[in-house]
Structure 1
Amino acid sequence: MRKIQISQPVTGEEEWLAVREPLESGWLTSGPKVRAFEQRFGEIHGVKHAIACTSATTALHLAMAALGIKAGDEVIVPAFTWISTANVVEYMGAKPVFVDIDLSTFNMNPEALKSKITNKTKAIIAVHLFGLCADMDRIKEIAGDIPIVEDAACAAGAQYKGVYAGALGDLGCFSFHPRKSITTGEGGMVTTQNDDYSETIGMMRNHGASISEEQRHHGAQPFILPEFNLLGYNYRMTDLQGAVGCVQIEKLEAFIAEREEWAKFYIENLKDLDWLKTPITPEGSKHGWQSFVCSIDESRSQHTRNRLMQILEEKGISTRPGTHAVHMLGYYANKYDISADDFPEAKKANDLSMAIPLHNRMSSEDYEHVVQQLKSI
């Protein structure tokens, strides 16, 4: 039976050959390949600084640390997102304050944001979920001087009114997990235009060291050890990953263009299914299409969302819920005494979203098969 995966990375001979150089040189930890990847990523996304790390989670953690988030502070996060968005706030001893979403985009509802801002609010994390940038103009208008961190884990290459994700807020945080449009296996990136944030994050990802391992290695004074004036972490990306990233970043535009073509195919060919709502792209946005997430109208469907996913699995088509409503997860629901219905749109997204396969290893026959099977239900 044909099996269509929800997502598969596109890697091959170019990536395999790219890791040969660091393997042969012996420079495996963060070094010249990571630096080259950072430079190219920053150039493409129109930012002054790009700092590589081990994941989007650690990127967000570094962003929180660079902003000086601490116990007693509040950071606003959308209720429908991957758990890392809220977890990094907890890591700092601060409180994540949830805000509901706009179900049509799955992103933060700016109008729901207003009532959540207090004198304890020290940052807002705007998530560009599934590759679609949040309504940044409205969020900025409401936020005023409050720093905005973009959780752009899904949004490499996405744009909002001609500006790339990662250049829209004070800091941007990206993921290179295999389910993202480009991958380094695991990995992340922080972007910023701010020199001070960049310097702080560059040190904090390396234990808080005042100079990098590469600077020490090539320096003329081998007796010098770094100074440590910050409490840092070991969040360095390896040069093996950086080498893969250097290859993958050059494919980003083509990957997104191909996904855009097939997203339009889905939207056109599934428009007559009244129980299936396909994604929208607001005017002025360029979707990054990390995934193609639909909503199920169970009042019109013969089956529940979960049963639909089971049927498609039986037909060899992988699906997934979009993501989870973080406020409904045990840790947050119990700690902050939150009810599932406190954020009704996030709850609907949690219960009714369904991602169908969209990636760069699918064939035209695969896409046609997905459409055919959806129509046959």
Structure 2
Amino acid sequence: MSKRNIAISLPSTGEEEWLATKESILSGWLTQGPKVAEFEKQFAQYHGVKQAIATTSCTTSLHLILVAMGIGPGDEVLVPAFTWVATANIVMYCGATPVFVDVDPKTNNIDISRIAEKVTNRTKAIIVVHLFGLCVDVAAVREKLPPQVKVIEDAACAAGAKIDEKYAGSLGDAAAFSFHPRKVITTGEGGMITTNDEDLAVMMTKLRNHGAEISEEQRHQGPKPYLLPDFNILGFNYRMTDLQGSVGLSQLAKLEQFIKERQRWAQYYCEVLADIDWLGLPEVPANVSHSWQAFVLYIDPQKAPMTRNQMMEQLQELGISTRPGTHAVHMLNYYKTQFTLTDADYPGARACNDNTMAIPLHNKMNADDYQYVVNALQMIV
């Protein structure tokens, strides 16, 4: 094969995003303003929720959700053991305790059958992660929980994903999305909260802006230039800029197109790689519309001709960028030390940590790129 260079992911941006940013720059309104407000409105409408609140990242979105829910010292929050570290970190930020739940290696998502055994009288919430864009069955999760336990969606990877025709972000009490460049749509950095709880939305909106009782728009556009907000709560500066909001609007308009293209090529991968017996392909239930933030394989260590890491090195030499799916948080040194954990404590998460491999799938790839990746995988013996 003639060598190609194929990135694991590339943001699909172009002239529309450049012109949108230019418009914001020329307007003079660069911080949070009308473009962010419009992005929030359209994002909420797309995902079928009442409220959307733009932030600086998915991490800060999750942090705002927990703080607004009153979660703090003495509380426990259930977290899947296989996820990006931020999902657990934000529980620690609040002084609460993350309680890990193992995952199902077939889906990489939380093992719903293991939830009930982790619930105590201190459990205040569960964070379900729609990993790589595959929605968790939140209705089934709720059946395992006492009614007072809040369900929070870490939908970092799941903009536009659906289960039973309901969008990610509309399934739990609140959800957090990411617009990092590896996501299906991007604003560079940035995040979004969605919720149908009006009171929670009001609290998070205040917390996002230092705890101010009135918004920046009210201050700057109102008839009383001397007006300053009162502060009754301790808040944060988690505001998105209008530059990012402008890019977000352009990207959101392309989300459906991006997902359809990713779904088509994910199906191609599944069809042409099905005969490789050591390769575990993603499983997608019939009632789920996967958004395919990433296409993640499972390398069977008992059957594969080499280890996952050796395979990644070989593909790298061919110009194909790969990554582990993500990491098992209980295997990270901070959490191992903090909670006296061992690698073997969560075998499903450990298996995913050691054996998952994301291969390139993004909206900048063409048919020749996909064929090159397939050929490279078929040549591994």
Q: What range describes the TM-score normalised by the shorter chain of this pair?
A: over 0.9
In structure 1, the residue matched to 2:159 is 156
Among residues 339, 351, 361, which one is paired with 1:336 in the alignment? 339
Separation (CA, whole Å) in 2 of partners of 1:139 and 1:129: 15
The CA deviation at 1:230 is 1.2
Matched, 1:118 2:114: no
- When normalised by structure 2's length, the TM-score is 0.98
In structure 1, the residue matched to 2:236 is 233
In structure 2, the residue matched to 1:108 is 110
The CA deviation at 1:135 is 2.1
Separation (CA, whole Å) in 2 of partners of 1:137 and 1:221: 48
Matched, 1:281 2:269: no
In structure 2, the residue matched to 1:354 is 357
Residue pairs, 1:1-377, within 5 angstroms: 1-145=3-147, 146-377=149-380
Letter matched to residue 342 of structure 1: D
The CA deviation at 1:47 is 0.3
Q: How big is each residue's C-alpha offset from its partner over 1:204-254, in whole Å with a ceiling of 9 and x where there is no partner?
A: 010001111111000111111001111100000000000000100010000
Q: Secondary structure at the match of 1:107?
A: coil
Letter matched to residue 205 of structure 1: R
Separation (CA, whole Å) in 2 of partners of 1:343 and 1:99: 8
Separation (CA, whole Å) in 1 of partners of 2:81 and 2:356: 14
Separation (CA, whole Å) in 1 of partners of 2:62 and 2:268: 34
Separation (CA, whole Å) in 1 of partners of 2:116 and 2:341: 19
The CA deviation at 1:138 is 1.3
Q: How big is each residue's C-alpha offset from its partner over 1:74-130, in whole Å with a ceiling of 9 and x where there is no partner?
A: 000000000000000000000000000011000001111110000000000000000
Q: Secondary structure at the match of 1:225?
A: coil
Q: Secondary structure at the match of 2:73?
A: coil
Uncovered stretches (5+) of structure 1, i.e. residues with no partner: none
Letter matched to residue 26 of structure 1: G
Letter matched to residue 40 of structure 1: Q
Separation (CA, whole Å) in 2 of partners of 1:22 and 1:144: 47
Q: Secondary structure at the match of 2:115?
A: helix
4+ residue segments displaced more than 3 Å: none
Q: Secondary structure at the match of 1:81?
A: coil
Mean alpha-carbon deviation: is it higher for 15-24 or for 171-180? 15-24
Separation (CA, whole Å) in 2 of partners of 1:178 and 1:336: 32
Separation (CA, whole Å) in 2 of partners of 1:13 and 1:144: 50
The CA deviation at 1:298 is 1.7
Separation (CA, whole Å) in 1 of partners of 2:17 and 2:366: 22
The CA deviation at 1:144 is 3.2
Q: Secondary structure at the match of 1:50?
A: strand
Separation (CA, whole Å) in 1 of partners of 2:176 and 2:16: 26
Separation (CA, whole Å) in 2 of partners of 1:141 and 1:301: 38
Q: How big is each residue's C-alpha offset from its partner over 1:4-59, in whole Å with a ceiling of 9 and x where there is no partner?
A: 00000001100000011211111000000000000000000000000000000000
Separation (CA, whole Å) in 1 of partners of 2:303 and 2:70: 49
Uncovered stretches (5+) of structure 2, i.e. residues with no partner: none
Q: Secondary structure at the match of 2:362?
A: coil
Letter matched to residue 282 of structure 1: P
Q: Secondary structure at the match of 1:143?
A: coil
The CA deviation at 1:291 is 0.1
Letter matched to residue 28 of structure 1: L
Letter matched to residue 252 of structure 1: L
Q: Secondary structure at the match of 1:4?
A: coil
State the percentage of identical aligned residues: 57
Instruction: Give the superposed CA RMSD.
Output: 0.6
Separation (CA, whole Å) in 1 of partners of 2:358 and 2:145: 31
Letter matched to residue 157 of structure 1: G
Mean alpha-carbon deviation: is it higher for 275-284 or for 47-56? 275-284
